[in-house]
Structure 1
């Protein structure tokens, strides 16, 4: 793994995402609360885009179905960007995300 050039919170989130284990995803997703700053939500969104580990992806699937609303929304974005529309459709049909969020890219 190449050392990322970012420091501070963004650097920490990137390192966790590149590792991508369940605990790392928990750490990243844990930053998404109703009190999260705009900067933190953008950092989290970017970090999540770097998760490639299958265990991490499965953990994001867990949060898509079990997380808070903001966590589900960011997980939805993650899966949409991966073109994993079946999982997004399931979450939408269960009422966990709304149609607008389900079809956002």
Structure 2
């Protein structure tokens, strides 16, 4: 997970919280989940907004907050240059331990 994760990806992560011992690895997500409404304004302008809230089962807000990350992981510039997937590497480390 990372800051470009939105909507369906955030819902997917939240639903996997139901699994025993689940862990979410990554960076803060966008917090952009929920139904999208549209209003068409004069001049051909389309205004989009979130109609419904998105919450965890315990009513903790997801919108504008993002998915709760258990283990924060971010690649460094050297990781990116080397083509490393630090999220997968951390997941493998967690599974092996």
Decide: shared fold, TM above 0.5. no
TM superposition score normalised by structure 1: 0.31
TM-score norm. by structure 2 comes to: 0.33
| Max Rg structure | 2
Q: Which has the higher helix share?
A: 1
